[in-house]
Structure 1
Amino acid sequence: MRTSARWIQEWDPEDTAFWERTGKRTANRNLLFSVLSEHIGFSIWSLWSVMVLFMGKPYHVDPAGKFFLVAMPTLVGAFVRIPYTVAVARFGGRNWTIVSAVLLLVPTLAAAYVMHPGTSYTTFMVVAALTGVGGGNFASSMTNINAFFPMRRKGWALGLNAGGGNIGVPVIQLVALAVITWAGANSPRLVLGIYLPLIVVSATCAALFMDNLAPMKSDTGALAATLREKHTWLMSVLYIGSFGSFIGFSFAFGLVLQNQFGRTPLEAAQLTFIGPLLGSLIRPLGGWLADRHGGARITFWNFVTMAAAAGVVTYASSVRSLPVFLVGFIGLFVFAGVGNGSTYKMIPGIFDAKAQDRIAAGESQEAAAAWSRRMSGAAIGVIGAVGALGGLFINLAFRQSFLDTGSGTPAFASFLVAYAVCFALTWAVYLRRPTAAPDAERAVALART
């Protein structure tokens, strides 16, 4: 029922008086507990990036098998993002946050049951796939928070929400480091024991402190419409480059350090959290910069720097220089974090620009704004789902690279080419001055996003 006390019946964040009176306080409260839930979701999604650090010789899983193992959650996480996006409007942001948090108990308990030598590789693959539900939390959380905030605050709010969630990756890596340091590499269940009560806490907080927005209605029509919108797919490519890099590198970093540079599990764990932590912390800055200077401009220069960092990493990998490699690789994490924030700011901006065209054609401002919210919310789910597949591509690239050459160098070279494609695409579509007069107004509006 949409009439209970936990449902907000009227919500207009673009109304400045409403926003200052009650909207800002309510939106910030929901943002806070959304970050908590998404944070735990990301930790569980990246669970197997640390479980593989505990899988020594008695587990009989080779490096290629481990890369494939950490790729499974990204694949499942990408596909569940679409239904998770729809679920927010269907069941309510608060309600779905509770359900999505409780679902995290399934892969966590399953991992606790199977994490010991003698378990078959197929079983590990199935349990790793279950953690993909944690990736869905991101899509539902972002769609929900997108509806709470006005356009002028979306870049910061979405960046903060996503950044707080992304920090779940380095946090679970730090937890694993602590466990390996104090209890040894034979105690993976200690990590799981820490997260089980945290999952319960996040679900309880969502139930007590979050709200549902009644104006958000289940809208499969908007989802279908975004699939026909070219900018959905163009932005998906850019998000593969930014978020796909972040999550893919986060899952693979420890394995690369072990197989490329011969680090032990403890030595790898001492380094793996640094890149994801910095990339997560800087994501809100990417949204803030996009709010001030335009998402397209920040995204363009960000991919230029990512290509440069990939060049450094490719060189360091070829000469096996760990210090240079760490500088370049951590640079990739930082720039991926900035790009995550700037690309997500572009999404509502694009549909807001298109809403202005609808107003010019005679549609009311209220109807056009509602259309923009519907479309941007649906697009966030689609783009988030496709972008997450970048993590799968990265881990498969590493797997093939190590199988073929025993080194990650060919994979890094392919990433450099991918980032060059991304900055060229950003310039050609969102920054290049238009040549056709009828499209000039829209192109200028898009460039400001």
Structure 2
Amino acid sequence: MTATGTAPAPPSRGGRWIRQWDPENETFWKETGEKVARRNLLFSVLSEHIGFSVWTMWSVLVLFMGPEYGLTPADKFMLTSMVTLVGAVVRVPYTFAVAIFGGRNWTIISASLLLVPSVAAFLVMEPGTSFSTFLLVGLLAGVGGGNFASSMTNINAFFPLKKKGWALGLNAGGGNIGVPVIQLAALAIIGASGGPRVLLGIYIPLIVVAAVLAALFMDNLENVKNDTGAAKDAARDGHTWIMAVLYIGTFGSFIGYSFAFGQVLTNQFGRTPLQAAYVTFIGPLLGSLIRPLGGWLADRWGGARITLYNYVGMGAATAVLIAASMQKSLVLFTVAFVVLFVLTGLGNGSTFKMIPGIFQAKAQAQGLTGEAAAAYGRRLSGASMGLIGAVGALGGVGINLAFRQSFLSYGSGTGAFVAFLAYYAVCFAVTWAVYLRRSAARSQATTAAEAKPQLSYAEV
């Protein structure tokens, strides 16, 4: 039941800590909470957006690195793979950092940390620098990948349950758009005959601005506490890892292709950095913008169904990519790749929407009702999202390593696309077997005499 009584006292501003926060109380939300939550959302999106840009900046920087840098295509794919790996790994500690330091405090810290890889890249970005140095500096950029996890955890605490979908979707989409934005910035700089240090010189002051704005306008919530038991319970639940497999296929593809698309165009189709930059931003942009639609479709028809059909589309687009790659058709290849990006965005929305539904369904199947079921679902889904997000991002590592091996073995990305097609087929089979076939079987086994609701994942 939603509280509608007197609003709690206005939050304390001392030290930027809010001691009393009850967004489920409608009076509090309307009179105090909504304004504060929206302000924190705005500056959280800004910091996360720049974090995504810094995380993916090496997908752009490698386009500037011509023959004078002495790096092979395999070296560049290895470089972007390791950046993706670090970004995936740091999502786990970043998830819990909010409760340790406070949302505002950690946003300041995490934004400020982005200066380290940006300044380091600015200093070493010149011909003659060794590959090992580039690799070390690239690894530092991985910290930008962690901003997503901490930002989502922080914003989740500010909004009432009925507003979380919108707030988290906007937060995630605003962050993801950092990928095409830095690619567009690179396009403008390359077109103006600028170098990689110009791009870095633009982002370094933006990082400072994001940290300063977080310090001035964001808040910490005292009632946000770590629940290590929830993390352990989520890690022991098989659905956490099943959903991680599916999220590898969607978000792993999105971030992996974001890193690799430009390199594939330059290495396989002979595009210049400028020519590649003209199209590389389109896929990530559309994939970011369409993510909320995937969630909306999941709300309407069930996340499992949308995810299943989405993997059919991803498989079909990948098959077209294989054909275009073998025929060396640049136009068909580019169009199919952009379509695949759009489908990864839809899948990101539908898979993430499934997570709370799965744990809510489990709670109801265990006999829990009302607030008890909702609390169970929130507890485990919140903890599992951090793990699923981290594992899903590892898919980006696999994408880049697969491209690296494919170019080493075959001189093109065709072999990698065959591997991706096989993985999407596995994801399709898992989605059907776990979340659709079983629910159908249970439904057929249910008799009219049974009063207990049957567990069904088809609607999650």
| Structure whose CA Rg is larger | 2
Q: How does 1:144-293 map to 2 (within 5 A)?
A: 144-184=154-194, 187-293=195-301
Residues 385-437 of structure 1: per-residue CA shift (max 9 Å, x gap): 00000000000000000100001111111111111211221222222334346
Query: In the superposition, relative to structure 1, how do residues 28 and 355 fare at CA in structure 2: closer, same or farther (>3 Å)?
Result: farther
Query: In the superposition, relative to structure 1, how do residues 299 and 128 fare at CA in structure 2: closer, same or farther (>3 Å)?
Result: same
**Counterpart in the other structure of 1:298:** 306
Query: In the superposition, relative to structure 1, how do residues 151 and 302 fare at CA in structure 2: closer, same or farther (>3 Å)?
Result: farther
**Counterpart in the other structure of 2:4:** none
SS in 1 for 2:224: coil
Residue 418 (1) aligns with residue 423 (2): yes
1:48 to 58, 61, 66: 58
Query: In the superposition, relative to structure 1, how do residues 263 and 142 fare at CA in structure 2: closer, same or farther (>3 Å)?
Result: same
Q: 1:270 and 1:228 mapped to 2: Cα distance?
A: 45
Shift of 1:148: 2.7
Q: How does 1:27-46 map to 2 (within 5 A)?
A: 27-46=37-56
SS in 2 for 1:116: coil
Moved more, 423-432 or 114-123: 423-432
Question: Could you tell me whether the CA contact under 8 Å between 1:299 and 1:426 is conserved in 2?
Answer: yes
Residues 84-131 of structure 1: per-residue CA shift (max 9 Å, x gap): 001112222222111110100000010011100111100100100100
**Counterpart in the other structure of 1:132:** 142
Q: 1:344 and 1:15 mapped to 2: Cα distance?
A: 26
Shift of 1:345: 1.5
Letter of the 2:400 counterpart: N
**Counterpart in the other structure of 1:119:** 129
Shift of 1:291: 2.7
**Counterpart in the other structure of 1:89:** 99
* Percent of aligned positions that are identical: 68
Query: In the superposition, relative to structure 1, how do residues 158 and 368 fare at CA in structure 2: closer, same or farther (>3 Å)?
Result: same
Question: Could you tell me whether the CA contact under 8 Å between 1:244 and 1:389 is conserved in 2?
Answer: yes
Question: Could you tell me whether the CA contact under 8 Å between 1:155 and 1:342 is conserved in 2?
Answer: no
Letter of the 1:354 counterpart: K
Q: 1:381 and 1:31 mapped to 2: Cα distance?
A: 19
SS in 2 for 1:203: helix
Residues 51-77 of structure 1: per-residue CA shift (max 9 Å, x gap): 101111111000011111111111001
Q: 2:91 and 2:417 mapped to 1: Cα distance?
A: 27
Residue 342 (1) aligns with residue 350 (2): yes
Q: 1:27 and 1:295 mapped to 2: Cα distance?
A: 27
Structure 2: runs of 5 or more not aligned: 1-11
Shift of 1:15: 4.6
Shift of 1:18: 4.4
Residues 227-284 of structure 1: per-residue CA shift (max 9 Å, x gap): 1011110110111001000000000001000111110111111111111111111112
**Counterpart in the other structure of 1:58:** 68
**Counterpart in the other structure of 2:455:** 443
Residues 359-389 of structure 1: per-residue CA shift (max 9 Å, x gap): x358xx5565444333222211101100000
Residue 372 (1) aligns with residue 372 (2): no
Shift of 1:336: 0.5
Letter of the 1:250 counterpart: S
Q: 1:224 and 1:426 mapped to 2: Cα distance?
A: 24
Shift of 1:26: 3.0
Shift of 1:342: 1.5
SS in 1 for 2:192: helix
Q: 1:160 and 1:299 mapped to 2: Cα distance?
A: 20
Query: In the superposition, relative to structure 1, how do residues 154 and 353 fare at CA in structure 2: closer, same or farther (>3 Å)?
Result: farther
Q: 1:9 and 1:224 mapped to 2: Cα distance?
A: 28
1:318 to 315, 319, 326: 326
Letter of the 1:73 counterpart: V
Q: 1:345 and 1:151 mapped to 2: Cα distance?
A: 13
TM-score by length of 1: 0.93
Structure with larger RCO (C-alpha < 8 A, sep 6+):
1
Question: Could you tell me whether the CA contact under 8 Å between 2:59 and 2:260 is conserved in 1?
Answer: yes
Residue 393 (1) aligns with residue 404 (2): no
Over aligned residues, Cα RMSD in angstroms? 2.1
Question: Could you tell me whether the CA contact under 8 Å between 1:151 and 1:348 is conserved in 2?
Answer: no
In the comparison of the two structures, how many residue pairs are matched? 442
Q: 2:326 and 2:169 mapped to 1: Cα distance?
A: 35
Structure 1: runs of 5 or more not aligned: none
SS in 2 for 1:183: coil
Query: In the superposition, relative to structure 1, how do residues 49 and 307 fare at CA in structure 2: closer, same or farther (>3 Å)?
Result: same
Query: In the superposition, relative to structure 1, how do residues 12 and 390 fare at CA in structure 2: closer, same or farther (>3 Å)?
Result: same
Question: Could you tell me whether the CA contact under 8 Å between 1:155 and 1:344 is conserved in 2?
Answer: no
**Counterpart in the other structure of 2:9:** none
Query: In the superposition, relative to structure 1, how do residues 367 and 192 fare at CA in structure 2: closer, same or farther (>3 Å)?
Result: same
Query: In the superposition, relative to structure 1, how do residues 306 and 323 fare at CA in structure 2: closer, same or farther (>3 Å)?
Result: same
